[in-house]
Structure 1
Amino acid sequence: LMKNIYLLSEPLNFFLLTQFFGFFGNVLVILAFILDRNLRHRSNYFFLNLAISDFAVGVFCMPLYIPYALTGTWHLGKGLCKLWLLMDYLVCSASVFNIVLISYDRFLSVTKAVSYRAQQGMMSSPVVKMVAIWILAFLLYSPAVLLWEYMTGCSMVEEGQCYAEFFNNWYFLLCASTLEFFVPLISVTYFNVSIFYNIQRRQRRGSIQYCESPGSSSVSWRFCFLLRRGSSLSEMENSVSSVMRSSRPSLASNCTSPTATSPVAVKRDFSASFRANSRSRLQRDKKIAKSLAIIVCVFAICWAPYTLLMIIRGACQGKCVHPILYEITFWLLWINSSLNPFLYPLCHMRFQMAFMKILCPQKLAALRSNDTPSV
C-alpha cells in the first residue's frame, strides 16, 4: 500500500503543480484586466479571451481528470463524462484559436500599422472576433462529442472509461487535427515570418511603414505619400527640402519676428522627430517579433506530440501507442494553457505594472515615488 501511495504521489504533485500555475496565472490576467482600466485596449481583449479559456482548463478540466489519470477508472458517471469531454475539447480549441487571433492582431499592428491604428476605437471588431472564436471551437468537436453514439447507433466507450466516441476514428481525427493544429500552426508561422520580413525590409531601406493622418501641410502629406510607397529616408529628406524651397517665399512673408521658425529648422525638427519615432516603433516591433517566435515554438512543442500520436493511435486502433506516452502528450496540452499567461501578458509592460499593483502595491508605490522628481 505504501509503495502504491508513493508511486501515485509523484504524478499527483506534477498534476497539482500544473493546475496551480494554470489557475493562478490566468486568474491574475483576468483580475489585472478588470482592475486596471489602462489594459482595456483593443488587442488586450484577446489576451482576456485566451485567459478565460485557459482558466477553464485549470478550474474544470484538470480537477476532474486527475482522479481518472491516477486510478484509470472514471467514477463520476456518464453524464459528467460527456460534460467534461465537451468542455475539454471546447476550451482547448478556443485556446488554440485565440493564439492565432493574437498572432494575427500583432501581424496587423506591424505590417498594416496605418489601417490598424485607424480602427483602434472600434470595439465591435474585437468582440465579434472573440465570439467567433468560441463558436468555431464549439463547432469543431462538440457536435461529435454529443451526437456520435446516436449517429452510429451504439457506444464504443467501455464501462468505467471516459473518452470520446471518435477516439479511434482515424478519418475524423485527421480532419479535426488539421483544423485544430496544422492550420493554426501554419498561420502563426506565416504571421511570424511576415513580421520578421517586414522588420528586415524596414531596416534595409531605413524606412518605416507608418505615418499619422496627413494634415494640410504639404510636408507631412509628402512624407505620408513616400512612406506608404516605401521610399528611403534620404528620398524623404530630399523631398522635404524641395517642398521647403518651393514654400520659402510664403514662409518668409509669414515671419514677422526674428524669432520665427526658419524652413531649415522646421525640416530639421521634422526629420529628427521622424527618426526618433521610426527607431521607437522599430524596437517595439522587434519585441513583438521575438515574443511571437517564442509563441510559435512553445505552441508547436506542446501540441505536435499529442496531435501526431492521436492520429497514429486512431490509425492503429490504440494498439501501437503506449498509454503512458499518450498520457504525457495529453498533459503537455494543458501545460501550454499554464504557460500562456507567462508567454503573453508578462511580456508587456502594462500587464507587468498591473500585476505589481495587485501583488506588490507597496513596491509599485515606492517605484513611482522614486520616479517623481523632487520639487
Structure 2
Amino acid sequence: MESYEDYGEDNSSASYDDNDTRYGGCSEGLPPLYASVLGIALAVPDWEAALTTLTLVLIILLTVVGNVLVILSVFTYRPLRIVQNFFIVSLAVADLTVAILVMPLNVAYSIVGRWVFGIHVCKMWLTCDVLCCTASILNLCAIALDRYWAITDPINYAQKRTLKRVLLMILGVWLLSGVISSPPLAGWNDWPEQFQNDTPCQLTQQQGYVIYSSLGSFYIPLFIMTIVYVEIFIATKRRLRERARASKLNTTSLGQAAAPAKGGDRQDQESVSSETNHNEHPRLEGAAKVKEKKKKGKRRKKEKTSAAGNGVDGKDKCLRPILVTEDSLTDNNDAAECRNSLPADHSNPVPCPKVVEASVTTRRAVPASQFIEEKQRISLSKERRAARTLGIIMGVFVVCWLPFFLMYVIIPFCPKCCPSDKLINFITWLGYINSTLNPIIYTIFNLDFRRAFKQLLHFRP
C-alpha cells in the first residue's frame, strides 16, 4: 500500500517534525501516513481503519445503551427505586460520560494519527478523560464501601443509609474527581505553549501530577476496594459456616421433636397428606371421606404443632408437613416461624407460608425439617454466588485499569520506555471497556435489573 509520502501532493503541513516528541518524551519515529479512500491521510491502512472504527464504535454503542438502560431501570422499575441503587446510577452516569465525551474523540485521534481539533478542545478532552474515568473508579469504591457497611453493620447502617447520606457520598465522589482532574487546567502540566496539528494531544507527563492523579484516581481506590472486598469475602464465608451449622441444628432439633408418638404422627401426616391431595384433586375422594377427615382433624387439632397447606374446610391451617413442589420452594417465611407463631390455645392458627406450585401433579408432602434444610441450602447457594460476584467485580476492575495506570506512572520516570501507538491505544481502550462492562457486571446478577431491562426493551418476561 502506498504511504502518504507517495501520495503525490505537498504533505509538508501534515508531516511530522523530527524534533517533536511523542508519548513519554520518546523521539517521534512514527510510521508513515497512508492514503485513504476518504481523500485524507490516515495513520493506518484503510482495512485497519475500518476494522478499528467498527470495533470501537460498537464498544461505544454498547456502553451508551447499557448505562442508559441502568439509569432508566432505577427510575422506572419500582423494585429498583431504593437508595443504594443511586450509587449504581452515579456509576452509570460516569460511564455514560466516558462513552459520549471521551471515546469518540479517541477513535478519531487513533485513526487520523494526529490531533486536528485545536488546543482548547484537547485540554477539555483530556480533562474530561481524567474526570469521568476517575468518577467511574471512585463510584466503584463507594459501592464497595456501601456493601461493606451493609454487611458488617446491617442494623445501624440501614438507619444511616438515608437518601441525603447517599447523595452526599455521590456528590463527594464527583467533587473529588474534579479536584483530581482540574490541576492541569490551572497550570500543573507540561503542555506546549504553541499547539499545531502535528502536536500530540496527550496527558501531561509532569511527574508530580502523575503521582498525585494516579494515587487519587486508581491506587488508593484499588487499595480500599481490595481491603473492603476481602473483608466482605471473609464475612460471607463466616456466614456460610454459621448457616451450615444452623441448618444441622434445625434438622436435628426438629427430628428429635418429631420422635415421640411416631404412630400418631404418622397417622397425622397421612391425614394431612390426604386432605391436601383432596383439595388439589377433588375428584379422587367422595363427600363421605371429606366429612370423616374433618372429624379426625378436629380431634387431633391440639396435637399438631406445625404444617402448611390448605385444610378441607377451605381455611389455611398450620399442619405438620410442609408442602412443596418438586423443583421450587417458597422464599418467604420458614416453617419454624410458622410453628413458633402458633397460639397456645390453637384457636386461631397462623397461616403458613404459601408455596409456589409448578403443577398440581408434582406436589408432595415434605417434613418441616427437610423444608428448613432446603431453605438453608438455597441461602448458602446465594451467599456463594455473591462471593463469586465480588471476585468478578474485582478481577474485571484490575484487568481493565491496572495496565493503563502502570504505563501512566512508569513512562514519565523511564525516558527509554517508548511503547508503540497501538499498544498505547490498546491499553487505553482496555480501561475504557470497564465502563462497558460495569452495567453488565452490576446488573446481570440481579433479577430485578434483568426484569427491568426486558420491560424497557419490550421483551417477553
TM class by smaller structure: 0.7 to 0.9
Q: Report if the CA contact (8 A) 1:27-1:51 is conserved.
A: yes
Q: Which residue of 2 aligns with 1:370?
A: none
Do the aligned partners of residues 162 and 118 (structure 1) sit closer, same or farther apart at CA in structure 2, a change above 3 Å counting? same
Do the aligned partners of residues 313 and 232 (structure 1) sit closer, same or farther apart at CA in structure 2, a change above 3 Å counting? same
Q: Which residue of 1 aligns with 2:129?
A: 88
Deviations 1:163-201 (A, max 9, x none): 35x622233212321222222222212222112211222
Q: Which residue of 2 aligns with 1:143?
A: 183
Q: CA deviation at 1:323?
A: 2.6
Higher gyration radius (CA): 2
Q: Tell me how far apart the structure 1 counterparts of residues 150 and 195 of structure 2 sit (CA, whole Å).
A: 50
Q: Tell me how far apart the structure 1 counterparts of residues 91 and 305 of structure 2 sit (CA, whole Å).
A: 51
Q: Report if the CA contact (8 A) 1:168-1:318 is conserved.
A: no
Instruction: Read off the aligned partner of 1:182 and give its amino acid letter.
Output: Y
Instruction: Read off the aligned partner of 1:16 and give its amino acid letter.
Output: V
Q: Report if the CA contact (8 A) 2:70-2:92 is conserved.
A: yes
Q: Which residue of 2 aligns with 1:213?
A: none
Deviations 1:203-253 (A, max 9, x none): 334489xxxxxxxxxxxxxxxxxxxxxx99969x99xxxxxxxxxxxxxxx
Query: Secondary structure of 1:321's partner?
Result: coil
Instruction: Read off the aligned partner of 1:269 and give its amino acid letter.
Output: R
Deviations 1:105-141 (A, max 9, x none): 2222222222233345x21111111111000111012
Q: Which residue of 1 aligns with 2:413?
A: 315
Q: CA deviation at 1:261?
A: 9.9
Do the aligned partners of residues 323 and 345 (structure 1) sit closer, same or farther apart at CA in structure 2, a change above 3 Å counting? same
Instruction: Read off the aligned partner of 2:180 and give its amino acid letter.
Output: L
Query: Secondary structure of 2:74's partner?
Result: helix
Q: CA deviation at 1:289?
A: 2.2
Structure 2 matches for 1:238-317, cutoff 5 A?
269-270=339-340, 282-317=380-415
Do the aligned partners of residues 4 and 326 (structure 1) sit closer, same or farther apart at CA in structure 2, a change above 3 Å counting? closer
* Alignment pair present for 1:50 and 2:91: yes
Q: State which of 299, 320, 326 in structure 1 corresponds to 2:424.
A: 326
Structure 2's unaligned 5+ residue stretches are 1-34, 37-43, 254-299, 307-319, 321-335, 341-367
* Alignment pair present for 1:182 and 2:222: no
Structure 2 matches for 1:27-46, cutoff 5 A?
27-46=68-87
Instruction: Read off the aligned partner of 2:182 and give its amino acid letter.
Output: S
* Alignment pair present for 1:191 and 2:191: no
Query: Secondary structure of 1:168's partner?
Result: coil
* Alignment pair present for 1:22 and 2:63: yes
Structure 1's unaligned 5+ residue stretches are 209-230, 239-257, 365-375
Structure 2 matches for 1:70-89, cutoff 5 A?
70-89=111-130
Structure 2 matches for 1:103-142, cutoff 5 A?
103-120=144-161, 122-142=162-182
Deviations 1:323-364 (A, max 9, x none): 321221111111111111101122211111100101134x12
Q: Report if the CA contact (8 A) 1:110-1:285 is conserved.
A: no
Query: Secondary structure of 2:229's partner?
Result: helix
Q: Which residue of 2 aligns with 1:254?
A: none
Q: Which structure carries more relative contact order (alpha carbon 8 Å, separation 6+)?
A: 1
Q: Tell me how far apart the structure 1 counterparts of residues 303 and 169 of structure 2 sit (CA, whole Å).
A: 48
Deviations 1:273-323 (A, max 9, x none): 997886665544433322121111011001111111111111124753223
Q: Which residue of 2 aligns with 1:369?
A: none
Q: Tell me how far apart the structure 2 counterparts of residues 36 and 205 of structure 1 sit (CA, whole Å).
A: 34
Cα RMSD over matched residues? 3.3
Q: Report if the CA contact (8 A) 1:299-1:336 is conserved.
A: yes
Q: Which residue of 2 aligns with 1:367?
A: none
Instruction: Read off the aligned partner of 1:345 and give its amino acid letter.
Output: T
Paired residues in the alignment total 318
Instruction: Read off the aligned partner of 1:163 and give its amino acid letter.
Output: C
Structure 2 matches for 1:150-189, cutoff 5 A?
155=192, 158-160=195-197, 161=199, 163=201, 167-189=204-226
Do the aligned partners of residues 349 and 358 (structure 1) sit closer, same or farther apart at CA in structure 2, a change above 3 Å counting? same
Q: Which residue of 2 aligns with 1:242?
A: none
Q: CA deviation at 1:53?
A: 0.5
Q: Report if the CA contact (8 A) 1:108-1:116 is conserved.
A: yes
Q: Which residue of 1 aligns with 2:28?
A: none
Instruction: Read off the aligned partner of 1:33 and give its amino acid letter.
Output: V
**Percent of residue pairs identical:** 27
TM-score, L = length of structure 1 = 0.74
Please identify which structure carries the higher helix content. Answer: 1
Q: Tell me how far apart the structure 2 counterparts of residues 39 and 133 of structure 1 sit (CA, whole Å).
A: 22
Query: Secondary structure of 1:148's partner?
Result: coil
Do the aligned partners of residues 282 and 124 (structure 1) sit closer, same or farther apart at CA in structure 2, a change above 3 Å counting? farther
* Alignment pair present for 1:340 and 2:438: yes
Do the aligned partners of residues 289 and 42 (structure 1) sit closer, same or farther apart at CA in structure 2, a change above 3 Å counting? farther
Q: Which residue of 2 aligns with 1:10?
A: 51
Q: Tell me how far apart the structure 2 counterparts of residues 118 and 297 of structure 1 sit (CA, whole Å).
A: 31
Q: Tell me how far apart the structure 2 counterparts of residues 135 and 281 of structure 1 sit (CA, whole Å).
A: 39
* Alignment pair present for 1:101 and 2:154: no
Q: Tell me how far apart the structure 2 counterparts of residues 299 and 111 of structure 1 sit (CA, whole Å).
A: 23
Instruction: Read off the aligned partner of 1:31 and give its amino acid letter.
Output: L
Do the aligned partners of residues 207 and 317 (structure 1) sit closer, same or farther apart at CA in structure 2, a change above 3 Å counting? same
Q: Which residue of 2 aligns with 1:241?
A: none
Q: Report if the CA contact (8 A) 1:167-1:314 is conserved.
A: no
